Amino acid sequence: MRAQLVRRFLVLAGFYILSSIAAQADLRVINGKFSPDKKQGFVAVPAKFSPGRKQYLHEETLAAFLKLAEAAKKSGFNITIISATRNFVTQKTIWEEKFTGKRLVGGKNLATAVKSDEARALTILNFSSMPGTSRHHWGTDLDVHEAKITAPALHNSSFKSGRGLEFYNWMAANAAKFGFCQPYNGDPASRHAGKFAHGYQEERWHWSYRPLASQYLKMYQQNSGALEPAGFAGDKAAARLYMDYVQNIDASCY
Ligand SMILES: [Zn+2]
């Protein structure tokens, strides 16, 4: 009887340890602490969609993207991927270059132009996420462009007239059929009736594979303490703001 109880306890303990290791592994995807080229479940994007730069996506995201790209092609649009998975280290480089003034933001050196850490973080957060909080960590999100758009990538204005607007309208009408949504849609102050004080500005180029990303979002909300961002310049200011930015996304992406 006692041996049976001990055995049952050991089985349960083993199950608990294994499931907590699995949860830890998932948290490391959520905060980008991994290398996408070595990570199980991540695959390289075929070069024709990402010329000149090797990009990675979660395999489920890539499978859905290939179907989306095929449908787009039938309508005359050739989608390209500007940026897919970015890990913590990559995001930390972008963030710290902006925070320390090495990279200008809106033509300004923020290190000298904006003294308070929080105000400087908020300026950067208009478009760049803090390391550990980016949806680009998850392998579910991608920044896209279209081969015949001559206006620059990663600018809303490029998708508000001409070829860019035609492509954006096609995506807005069709992406959801393949599981994709636009998380940063419209004015951040109007999303969720203004429930969140902060949020990223509109990004007409950024699309997300909802079936997977919505699970990561739930895990983020359930583990928000463990996922508090740290380990980069200005992280204390960032830690007060991050959950607003993570959660203030378009309702279609929940
Ligand atoms: Zn993006």
Tens of pLDDT, residue by residue over 179-198, are 999 999 999 999 999 999 99
pLDDT tens, position by position, 200-239: 999 999 999 999 999 999 999 999 999 999 999 999 988 8
Distance 86 CA to ligand 1 centre (A): 9
Note whether residue 71 is domain-resident. yes
The C-alpha atoms of residue 72 and residue 69 are separated, in whole angstroms, by 5
Contact, 121 vs 236, CB < 8 A? no
Give me the pLDDT at residue 19, please.
Answer: 52
pLDDT digits (tens, 9 = 90+) for 102-135: 999 989 999 999 999 999 999 999 878 999 999 9
Contact at 8 Å (CB) between 199 and 244? yes
- Give yes or no for a contact between 140 and 58, defined as CB atoms under 8 angstroms apart: yes
Question: 222 C-alpha to center of ligand 1: Å?
Answer: 23
Q: Does 12 map to a domain?
A: no
DSSP bridge partners of 80: 145
CA distances from 219 to 23, 147, 174, 176 (A): 9, 36, 28, 22
CATH code at 234?
3.30.1380.10
Q: What is the mean predicted confidence (pLDDT) over 53-81? A: 97
Does residue 9 lie in a domain region?
A: no
In a domain, 10, yes or no: no
**Which pTM does this prediction carry?**
0.90
Q: How far is the CA of 99 from the centre of ligand 1 (A)?
A: 19
How much distance in Å is there from the Cα of 142 to the middle of ligand 1?
6
Domain span including residue 153: 26-253
CA distance 100 to 160: 32
Is-contact 43 59, C-beta < 8 A? yes
Number of structural domains (the chain) is 1
How far apart are the CA of 16 and the centre of ligand 1, in A? 36
Angle 156-33-93 (CA atoms, 0-180°, nearest 5)?
A: 50
CA dist list (Å): 161 to 95, 121, 164, 165, 195: 30, 31, 6, 5, 31
Residue 68 within a domain:
yes
Residue 58 falls inside a structural domain:
yes
Question: pLDDT tier at 7 (50, 70, 90 boundaries)?
Answer: confident
Domain contains 19: no
- Ligand 1 center to 15 CA (angstroms): 37
Amino acid at 172: A
Residues near ion ligand 1 (CB < 5 Å) are 143, 206
Span of 5-14, 66-75, 239-248 with lowest mean pLDDT: 5-14
User: Does some domain include residue 2?
Assistant: no
